[in-house]
Amino acid sequence: MPSQIVSLVVNGERREFIAAPGATLLACLRESLGLIAAKRGCAQGACGTCTVLVEGRPEASCLVPVETVAGASVRTLEGVTAGGELDEVQSAFIDCFATQCGFCTSGMIMVAEALLERNPDPSEDDVIEAVSGNVCRCTGYRPIVIAIMEAARRRRERAVPR
Amino acid sequence: MAKLRGRGFASVNYPTGMNLGGDPSQALIHATTTGTFVVSLSSVDLGQGIKTIAAQCAAETLGLPMGNVLVDTADTDTGPHCMGTFASRGSHRVGNAVIMAAAEARGVMLEVAAEELEVDAADLETDGSGYIMVRGAQDKRVHVTDLAMAAHFKHGRTISGRGVYLKEPSVPVPETGEMDPDSCQAHACTVAVVEVDDETGVVEVLELFNAYEVGRALNPAMATQQVEGGAWMGVSHALFETTEPYYPLRDHGPRDFSAYLMPGPADIPSQHSVILERPAANGPYGAKGIGEMTANAPIPAIANAIFDACGVRLTSMPFTPESVLRGLDALRMEEPC
Ligand code: FES
Ligand code: FES
């Protein structure tokens, strides 16, 4: 099978690149498009640090052959920082000190973005379930759960028209 | 059949640094043309925060804002020597080396400022916001950005400093075994509250209370997170991490980290932590190391809590449902029918 030109809508922008057969979405984002927020932790779907949103759903991009999502819309952490401003999830991660080495952080934030998109008022159990596929070796998870609850609260407050 | 609740505690003394024929770390600092003080280290930041601590120590000693400090840990091949990130030594060794380097750099900075302002260096002070000024004559001052520029292009000076902290080698006295292996010791105590299901043998840690004497918490938020993240690792050792037992066949055992059991976000206790400060005489601004010790105390505290809950005394980790159930069976055998 020859390499092929694949097109994706990445963070709202149409991008085209050449992909070798079987190349993963993660490899294409990092190597062809220079979007390095998604990290390669385990490369086998177990750690979640490569999580990006494909059509709004969190996916382990290390397991996705890129040709299977050709044409899809993909959102990465780079697309969360719109216009150079941190969004509620990012700033809550900072304020709640929900990151230590930072290796899991990109994946955690993308999972949180997906959760808050479909459920703006999650319970703590909802948050725990959402991040359960993501490994953090540093924080003990508690600050991450607290940060996502805080982000949800901030986003709801912002949504209330004044 | 019931869920039995128990509480246990354990304490730990933990040495800061070690001694394998001498334990040094070095730091070099120099100012760029725009007054950024670059701290060169070979000490690796793997998430424990040594870059932040080094920047804090440098800024505090220089008398400049954190924004004027850049910590560069880029290259262990060409950078000043560091023994490494282990033995809970980073903050202590590197912190001390950075303070020494920054003190020397501050001395040069004040000398150059004295030339620039045509005053005596002994009369100068820093205000922490970037100005070097004459004590008592606040308008006679120069900003570090202008000073660094002048140092390079007018005075021909390098504003720089060298630092090393060396824990000298120590060997045991043959007669007594006495020696001086570490630099100071941090102390901690953890209380664990657990629930033991006497039907399934599953142990759940409900709460952890941590008290840590850390010398001085150079960065209290990071110290607290080290305590709680480390306690999570302790829970992981106590209840989860093993390649056994996966009987009847080893085939079911984990082959890689994706199948190696660790607690996830649903398995975490709520934690309550306090930091106590009794500065160590030889620590950077009094700090001791608390890197490794944070995973220790939770383990015996959980073992003691299991004993308190159901009378089963477990002595090897992890405390799996199987070991709890075997312990309960043994207790029942002892009971008179
Ligand atoms: S790298 Fe994709 S799940 Fe670990
Ligand atoms: S912050 Fe280090 S893995 Fe989560």
The answer on A112 and A64 residing in a single domain is no
- First vs last Cα of chain A: how many Å apart? 57
Average of per-residue pLDDT values in chain B: 94
Ligand 1 atom nearest residue A50's Cα: 2
Q: Could you tell me which residues come within 8 angstroms of residue B5 by beta carbon, excluding any fewer than 6 positions away? A: B193, B194, B195, B196, B206, B309
Domain end: A79, A96, A115, which one? A79
Within 10 angstroms of residue B26's Cβ, the number of other Cβ atoms is 24
The answer on A72 and A11 residing in a single domain is yes
Average pLDDT over residues A75-81: 96
Average pLDDT over residues B68-77: 91
Say if residue B184's pLDDT is above 80: yes
Average pLDDT over residues B175-186: 92
Question: Is residue A139 lining ligand 2, measured as CB closer than 6 Å?
Answer: yes
Nearest to B78 by CA among B104, B24, B38, B40: B40
Nearest to B263 by CA among B295, B241, B242: B241
The answer on A9 and A72 residing in a single domain is yes
Average pLDDT over residues B71-87: 90
Query: Any idea which residue has 């901690």 for tokens?
Result: B188
Q: Do B228 and A128 touch (CB under 8 A)?
A: no
Say if residue A94's pLDDT is above 80: yes
**pLDDT one-digit tens code per residue, B35-48:** 999 999 999 998 88
Average of per-residue pLDDT values in chain A: 95
The answer on A28 and A70 residing in a single domain is yes
**pLDDT one-digit tens code per residue, B97-106:** 999 999 999 9
What chain B residue is nearest to A144 in terms of C-alpha separation? B265
CB A152 within 8 A of CB A122: yes
- Flag the least confident range among B20-24, B57-61, B235-239, B297-301: B20-24
The answer on A121 and A59 residing in a single domain is no
Q: What share of chain A is helix, strand, coil (3-state, %, to 5)?
A: 45, 15, 40
d(CA B214, CA B95): 14
pLDDT band at A162 (very low <50, low <70, confident <90, very high): low
Contacts of B256 in chain A (CB under 8 A): 44
Say if residue B245's pLDDT is above 70: no
What backbone torsions phi and psi does residue A108 show, to the nearest 5 degrees?
-60, -45
**How many Å lie between the alpha carbon of A73 and the closest alpha carbon of chain B?**
29
- pLDDT recorded at residue B254: 74
- pLDDT recorded at residue A115: 98
- pLDDT recorded at residue B246: 61
Q: Which ligand is nearest to the CA of A29?
A: 1
- pLDDT recorded at residue B22: 87
Domain end: A79, A111, A139, which one? A79
Say if residue A141's pLDDT is above 60: yes
Dist. CA A138 → ligand 2 center (Å) = 5
- Flag the least confident range among A9-18, B15-24, B290-299: B15-24
What chain A residue is nearest to B265 in terms of C-alpha separation? A141
pLDDT band at B247 (very low <50, low <70, confident <90, very high): low
The answer on A105 and A73 residing in a single domain is no
Containing B227, the helix (H) or strand (E) segment is: helix B220-239
CA distances from B80 to B39, B40, B41, B107, B157 (A): 10, 7, 6, 21, 21
Domains of chain B: 3-16+182-334 (3.30.365.10), 25-165 (3.30.365.10)
Average pLDDT over residues B198-216: 97
A67-80 as b/e: b if 16+ CB within 10 A = eebeebbbbbbbbb
Q: What domain range is A117 assigned to?
A: 88-159
Say if residue B249's pLDDT is above 90: no
Question: Is residue A97 lining ligand 2, measured as CB closer than 6 Å?
Answer: no
CB A19 within 8 A of CB A28: yes
**pLDDT one-digit tens code per residue, B116-172:** 999 999 999 999 999 999 999 989 999 999 999 999 999 999 999 999 999 998 889
Percent of chain A at pLDDT above 90?
A: 93
The answer on A104 and A41 residing in a single domain is no
- pLDDT recorded at residue A89: 98
- pLDDT recorded at residue B256: 75
With a Cβ cut-off of 6 Å, ligand 1 is lined by: A 40-43, 45-50, 60, 62
Percent of chain B at pLDDT above 70?
A: 98
- pLDDT recorded at residue B236: 95
- pLDDT recorded at residue A83: 82
- pLDDT recorded at residue B296: 96
B220: preceding bond cis by omega (within 30 degrees): no
Percent of chain A at pLDDT above 70?
A: 99
Q: Do B268 and A100 touch (CB under 8 A)?
A: no
Indicate the number of domains in chain A.
Answer: 2
- pLDDT recorded at residue B128: 96
Q: Looking at this protein, which amino acid is placed at residue A162?
A: R
Q: How many helices (H) and strands (E) does chain A have?
A: 6, 5
Average pLDDT over residues B15-39: 93
The CATH number for A28's domain is: 3.10.20.30
**How many Å lie between the alpha carbon of A7 and the closest alpha carbon of chain B?**
32
Quote the pTM value.
Answer: 0.91
Nearest to B282 by CA among B184, B169, B162: B184
- B266 and A CB contact within 8 Å: yes
3-state secondary structure of A104: coil
Say if residue B1's pLDDT is above 90: no
The answer on A48 and A26 residing in a single domain is yes
- B228 and A CB contact within 8 Å: yes
Going through chain B in order, the beta strands assigned E by DSSP cover: 3-15, 23-31, 37-40, 69-72, 124-126, 131-134, 137-143, 160-167, 185-197, 203-213, 270-276
Pairing of strands A4-10, A73-75: parallel
What backbone torsions phi and psi does residue B188 show, to the nearest 5 degrees?
-155, 160
Domain end: A79, A114, A146, which one? A79
The CATH number for A133's domain is: 1.10.150.120
- pLDDT recorded at residue B251: 75
Contacts of A143 in chain B (CB under 8 A): 225, 228
- pLDDT recorded at residue B181: 85
The answer on A62 and A30 residing in a single domain is yes
Q: Count CA atoms closer than 13 A to A83's CA, side-chain side.
A: 1
Q: Which ligand is nearest to the CA of B46?
A: 2
- Under DSSP, the state recorded for B316 is S
